[in-house]
C-alpha cells in the first residue's frame, strides 16, 4: 500500500497512520510484541505546544497499546544545554498528564558511541577531515551533481585514530577537524555524502563535565540511542524523512549486518505543529526571552507550555486541540483560533464564575438605604451544579463597566440608559434615572432605582428585562491589575516572512489595566485556578499576584472577536 492509501485506510478505522503501523507490528509479533517509544527533547529550551504534539503521540500511543515511553534527553551539544531546561521539561510533561518509564540521556552513551566510532575508523569506514566547514560544504555537490571527495578521505587508519584521540583530548582546536563517515559522495541522498559524525566542542557538559571534547552529531547519536534502549518505534517529525536511510544505516553497522530485521527501531514521521501568529523555533523563542521582548519563557503570550499554563490554559484543552488537528504526512499551518476554541470549550465546563469590573464607573442606587448590605447567593458554575455557590455582597454603591451606561443610546442598547431597566446579576432589577458629569463631560456617577420585589430567586421576580449586567460592591471588592493578552505576532505566518521576526511582533500583544475591581471571592483563588469574569472572558490569577496587589491574566475572551476584527 502506498503511504497515502495507508493513511486513508487508517482514518476509516479511526486510527491515525502511526497507530495503524504500531497495531500491525504488534499483531505481526514484531519485537516480541513489545512497544517502546521515547520522547527525545534536546534540553536547550522550554517545551512549546509543538512538543506537546510529539508528547501526545509518543506517550499516548504507548499508553493506549500497553507499551512504555521513556524520556530521553538528547544532550549531545553542551553549548546550548542546561539543567534548568531539563527540570522544566519534566514539569511540563507531567503537567500534560503523562508518565515516563525511565529517564535516559544521550550523554550516557558517549562511551558506547565513541567505541563505535573507533570501530568504524578501524574498519576504514570513518576518517578525520581537517578542512574547514566551508570547504566541506562546498564539496557536498548538489542533489543532481555528485560531491568531491575530501583530500583526507583516504588517510591511513592509524593517523585517523591518533587524530580522533586529539579531537577528544583538547589538543586539537575547536573547528580544526571533524570525524566523517566514509559513505558515498555521489549518493542522491545528500545525507550520505560523508556526513560529519563528530565535532570538537570545548565546553563543560552539564552532566559529563570536561570528560569529552569530541561530541557526536545528531545523526550519529539518535538512532544508536534508540537501539541501545530497545526503542521499537521511533516517532519524529517529517524533516527527518531524508535522515531515515542514515538512521537505518548506522544501526545496521552497529548490528554488524546481523539479524537486521530483528529488534531494530523503526522511524516513523508525522507533520509538525505550526500555529498561526506565533513561532515555534527554539532559537527564536530564546531570542525573544534573552532580548527582553517578552517577560521570560513563561510569558503568557509565548507558545510554550509554561506560558500557556500561566495564561490559564488547562492541559486537557491542549490535549483536546492536539486531538482535533490529528497526525498526517503533510505539513500545515494550524489556526490559533482553533486552539482558543478548544480552550473556551474546556473552560466553559470548569471555570468558576466571578464578577470583576475592568473599566469602572460608579452606580448609585438612590432608593437603596445607605449603610445597608445584603449577601446574595450566586452560582459558581452553571455547567456543573457540584461546583456549588458563593455569596456576593450587594450595597447602595456599585462598580459597573463604563461601557454599560450611555446617556444617549442607540435603539438596541439593552444596558443602562435613562429610563431603561436591566437586571444586576444575581440581584435586583434597576431602572436608570440619570448620571453626573465632570467639567469635561465625562460621566462620574450613574444613578438608578431598584425594584425591591425583583430580587433574584424571589417568587414573581422573573419579570423580563433585556439586559443583565455584572457589578461589584464598592465597599466589598478589591482593586486588581488585569493583563489582557493578544496574538504575539501581527502576521499570520511569521516563520515564512522575509522580514526579521522581531519586526513582526504585535505591539498590542499586552495591555495592562491597573484600575480594575474584583469581588472578594476572586481573591481567595490561586494562580492556575480557572475563572470566568462574567460577560468578559476567562481569567486566572497570575503568579505575580500578592495579597496587597492582585494580578489576573486573561486566558481568552468569551468569544472569538479576533477573527472578525481582522477580516
Ligand atoms: P528546534 O529545532 O527549534 O530546536 P527541535 O524540534 O529540534 O526544535 P527537540 O527538543 O529536538 O526540538 O524536539 C523534541 C521532539 O519534539 C522531537 O521528536 C521533535 O520532532 C518534536 N517536535 C519539535 N517541534 C515540534 C513541532 N512543532 N511539532 C511536532 N513535534 C515537534
Ligand atoms: Mg532537535
Domain boundaries, the chain: 34-270, 282-352+480-566, 358-470
10 has pLDDT over 80: no
Q: What gap in Å lies between CA 391 and CA 457, rounded to an integer?
A: 14
Q: Which pLDDT value is given to residue 566? A: 44
CA 51 to ligand 1 centroid distance, Å: 6
Report residue 560's pLDDT band, with 50, 70 and 90 as the boundaries: confident
Q: What gap in Å lies between CA 103 and CA 114, rounded to an integer?
A: 21
- Nearest one of 478, 461, 486, 448 to 546, comparing CA atoms: 478
Q: Which pLDDT value is given to residue 349? A: 96
282-352+480-566 and 358-470 share one fold: yes
Distance of CA 302 to the CA centre of its chain: 8
Distance of CA 456 to the CA centre of its chain: 42
562 has pLDDT over 60: no
Phi-psi region of 463 (alpha: psi -120 to 50; beta: other; left: phi over 0): beta
Q: At what angle do helices 83-96 and 49-64 cross, to 10 degrees?
A: 60
Top-tier CATH class for 34-270: alpha beta
How many CA atoms lie within 13 Å of 67's alpha carbon, on the beta-carbon side?
28
Q: Which residues contact 36 (CB under 8 A, 6 or more apart)?
A: 62, 67, 68, 69, 70, 229, 230, 231, 232, 233
Report residue 260's pLDDT band, with 50, 70 and 90 as the boundaries: confident
114 has pLDDT over 80: yes
Q: Which pLDDT value is given to residue 561? A: 63
Q: pTM value?
A: 0.94
Question: Residue 363: which H helix or E strand, with range?
Answer: strand 360-365
* Torsion of Cα atoms, 169 then 173 then 174 then 175, to 10°: -130
Residues 120-133 have a mean pLDDT of: 98
Q: Which pLDDT value is given to residue 9? A: 54
Q: Which pLDDT value is given to residue 81? A: 87
50 pocket-lining for ligand 1 (C-beta < 6 Å):
yes
Task: Single out the catalytic residue among 90, 203, 272, 320.
Answer: 272
463 has pLDDT over 90: no
Report residue 8's pLDDT band, with 50, 70 and 90 as the boundaries: low
Report residue 396's pLDDT band, with 50, 70 and 90 as the boundaries: very high
How confident is the prediction for the chain on average, in pLDDT? 95
Q: Which pLDDT value is given to residue 565? A: 47
Cell of 281: 523555533
Buried b (16+ CB within 10 A) or exposed e, 343-377: bbebbeebbbbbbbbbebbbbbbeebeeeeeeebe
User: Are 500 and 456 within 8 A, CB to CB?
Assistant: no
User: Are 196 and 128 within 8 A, CB to CB?
Assistant: no
Report residue 356's pLDDT band, with 50, 70 and 90 as the boundaries: very high
Residue with cell 482553533: 338
Residues 278-299 have a mean pLDDT of: 97
Q: Which pLDDT value is given to residue 11? A: 55
* Extended beta strands in 411-567, E state: 421-424, 429-437, 443-450, 467-469, 472-473, 477-485, 510-519, 531-533, 537-541, 550-557
Q: Which residues contact 172 (CB under 8 A, 6 or more apart)?
A: 163, 166, 200
Residues 414-443 have a mean pLDDT of: 96
272 pocket-lining for ligand 1 (C-beta < 6 Å):
yes
Task: Please spell the DSSP secondary structure of 176-201, one letter per residue.
Answer: S-EEEE---TT-SSGGGSS-EEEEE-
273 pocket-lining for ligand 1 (C-beta < 6 Å):
yes
257 has pLDDT over 90: no
247 has pLDDT over 70: yes
Reply yes or no on whether 140 is catalytic.
no
Question: Residue 287: which H helix or E strand, with range?
Answer: helix 282-290
User: Are 543 and 317 within 8 A, CB to CB?
Assistant: no
CA 41 to ligand 1 centroid distance, Å: 7
Report residue 559's pLDDT band, with 50, 70 and 90 as the boundaries: confident
Q: Which pLDDT value is given to residue 457? A: 87
Residue bearing the bigger pLDDT, 10 or 306: 306
Residues 396-411 have a mean pLDDT of: 96
Task: Single out the catalytic residue among 72, 207, 282, 487.
Answer: 282
282-352+480-566 has which CATH code? 2.40.240.10
319 pocket-lining for ligand 1 (C-beta < 6 Å):
no
Q: Which pLDDT value is given to residue 567? A: 40
Q: What gap in Å lies between CA 171 and CA 198, rounded to an integer?
A: 15
Task: Print the SS3 string covering 312-354.
Answer: CCCHHHHHHHHHHHCCCCCCCCECHHHHHHHHHHHHHHHCEEE
Task: Print the SS3 string covering 195-220.
Answer: CEEEEECCCCECCCECCCCEEECHHH
User: Are 117 and 198 within 8 A, CB to CB?
Assistant: yes
User: Are 179 and 201 within 8 A, CB to CB?
Assistant: no
CA 281 to ligand 1 centroid distance, Å: 8
Report residue 33's pLDDT band, with 50, 70 and 90 as the boundaries: very high
275 pocket-lining for ligand 1 (C-beta < 6 Å):
no
Report residue 415's pLDDT band, with 50, 70 and 90 as the boundaries: very high
308 has pLDDT over 80: yes
Reply yes or no on whether 204 is catalytic.
no
Q: What gap in Å lies between CA 437 and CA 445, rounded to an integer?
A: 7
pLDDT in tens, 137-184: 999 999 999 999 999 999 999 999 999 999 999 999 999 999 999 999
> Among 43-52, 94-103, 207-216, 260-269, whose mean pLDDT is lowest?
260-269
Instruction: Name the closest-CA residue to atom 15, ligand 1.
Output: 41
Cell of 508: 498590542
Question: Percent of the chain scored above 70 by pLDDT?
Answer: 96
Question: Residue 70: which H helix or E strand, with range?
Answer: strand 68-73
Q: Which pLDDT value is given to residue 333? A: 95
Which residue among 39, 41, 49 is best mutated to probe the pocket of ligand 1, counting the most ligand atoms within 8 A of its Cβ?
A: 41
Q: What gap in Å lies between CA 260 and CA 242, rounded to an integer?
A: 20
Cell of 193: 555524502
Instruction: Name the closest-CA residue to atom 7, ligand 1.
Output: 42
User: Are 91 and 57 within 8 A, CB to CB?
Assistant: no
Q: Which pLDDT value is given to residue 7? A: 53
439 has pLDDT over 70: yes
Q: Which pLDDT value is given to residue 321? A: 98
72 has pLDDT over 70: yes
Q: Which pLDDT value is given to residue 24? A: 95
Residue with cell 456576593: 392
Reply yes or no on whether 272 is catalytic.
yes
Instruction: Name the closest-CA residue to atom 29, ligand 1.
Output: 272
- Nearest one of 481, 485, 512 to 313, comparing CA atoms: 485
Q: Which pLDDT value is given to residue 1? A: 45
Top-tier CATH class for 358-470: mainly beta
Amino acid at each position: 500500500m502506498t503511504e497515502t492509501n495507508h493513511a486513508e485506510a487508517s482514518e476509516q478505522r479511526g486510527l491515525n497512520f502511526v497507530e495503524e503501523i504500531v497495531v500491525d507490528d504488534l499483531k505481526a509479533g514484531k519485537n516480541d510484541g513489545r512497544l517502546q517509544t521515547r520522547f527525545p527533547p534536546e534540553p536547550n529550551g522550554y517545551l512549546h505546544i509543538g512538543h506537546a504534539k510529539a508528547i501526545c503521540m509518543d506517550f499516548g500511543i504507548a499508553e493506549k497499546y500497553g507499551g512504555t515511553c521513556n524520556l530521553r534527553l538528547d544532550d549531545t551539544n553542551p553549548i546550548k544545554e542546561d539543567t534548568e531546561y531539563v527540570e522544566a521539561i519534566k514539569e511540563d510533561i507531567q503537567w500534560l498528564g503523562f508518565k515516563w518509564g525511565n529517564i535516559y540521556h544521550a550523554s550516557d552513551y558517549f562511551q558506547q558511541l565513541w567505541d563505535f566510532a573507533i570501530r568504524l575508523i578501524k574498519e576504514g569506514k570513518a576518517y578525520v577531515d581537517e578542512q574547514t566547514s566551508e570547504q566541506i560544504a562546498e564539496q557536498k555537490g548538489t542533489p543532481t551533481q555528485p560531491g568531491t571527495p575530501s583530500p583526507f578521505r583516504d588517510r591511513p587508519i592509524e593517523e585517523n585514530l591518533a587524530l580522533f584521540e586529539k579531537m577528544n583530548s583538547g589538543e586539537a582546536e575547536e573547528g580544526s577537524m571533524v570525524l566523517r563517515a566514509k559513505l558515498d559522495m555521489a549518493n542522491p541522498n545528500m545525507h550520505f555524502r560523508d556526513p560529519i559524525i563528530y565535532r570538537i566542542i570545548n565546553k563543560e557538559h552539564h552532566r559529563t563535565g570536561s570528560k569529552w571534547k569530541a561530541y557526536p552529531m545528531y545523526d550519529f547519536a539518535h538512532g544508536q540511542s534508540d537501539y541501545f534502549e530497545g526503542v521499537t518505534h521511533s516517532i519524529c517529525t517529517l524533516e527527518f524523512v531524508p535522515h531515515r536511510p542514515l538512521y537505518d544505516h548506522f544501526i545496521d553497522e552497529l548490528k554488524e549486518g546481523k539479524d537486521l530485521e530483528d529488534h531494530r527501531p523503526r522511524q516513523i514521521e508525522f507533520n509538525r505543529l505550526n500555529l498561526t501568529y506565533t513561532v515555534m523555533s527554539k532559537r527564536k523563542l530564546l531570542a525573544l526571552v534573552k532580548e527582553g521582548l517578552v517577560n521570560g519563557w513563561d510569558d503568557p503570550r509565548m507558545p510554550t507550555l509554561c506560558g500557556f499554563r500561566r495564561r490559564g490554559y488547562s492541559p486537557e484543552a491542549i490535549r483536546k486541540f492536539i486531538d482535533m488537528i490529528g497526525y498526517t504526512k503533510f505539513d500545515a499551518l494550524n489556526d490559533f483560533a482553533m486552539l482558543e476554541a478548544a480552550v473556551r470549550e474546556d473552560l466553559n465546563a470548569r471555570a468558576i464564575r466571578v464578577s470583576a469590573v475592568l473599566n469602572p464607573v460608579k452606580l448609585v442606587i438612590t432608593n437603596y438605604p445607605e449603610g445597608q448590605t445584603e449577601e446574595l447567593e450566586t452560582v459558581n458554575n452553571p455547567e456543573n451544579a457540584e461546583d456549588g455557590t458563593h455569596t456576593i455582597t450587594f450595597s447602595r454603591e456599585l462598580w459597573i463597566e463604563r461601557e454599560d451606561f450611555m446617556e444617549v443610546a442607540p435603539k438596541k442598547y439593552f444596558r443602562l440608559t435613562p429610563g431603561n431597566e436591566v437586571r444586576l446579576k444575581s440581584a435586583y432589577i434597576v431602572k436608570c434615572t440619570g448620571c453626573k458629569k465632570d467639567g469635561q463631560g465625562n460621566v462620574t456617577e450613574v444613578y438608578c432605582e431598584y425594584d425591591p420585589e425583583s430580587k433574584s430567586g424571589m417568587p414573581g421576580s422573573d419579570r423580563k428585562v433585556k439586559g443583565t449586567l455584572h457589578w461589584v460592591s464598592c465597599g466589598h471588592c478589591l482593586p486588581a491589575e488585569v493583563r489582557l493578552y493578544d496574538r504575539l505576532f501581527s502576521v499570520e505566518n511569521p516563520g515564512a516572512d522575509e522580514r526579521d521576526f522581531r519586526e513582526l511582533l504585535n505591539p498590542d500583544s499586552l495591555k495592562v489595566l491597573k484600575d480594575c475591581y474584583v469581588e472578594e471571592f476572586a481573591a481567595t483563588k490561586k494562580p492556575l485556578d480557572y475563572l470566568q469574569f462574567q460577560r468578559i472572558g476567562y481569567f486566572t490569577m497570575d503568579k505575580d499576584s500578592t495579597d496587597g496587589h492582585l494580578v489576573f491574566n486573561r486566558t481568552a475572551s468569551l468569544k472569538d472577536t479576533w477573527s472578525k476584527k481582522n477580516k
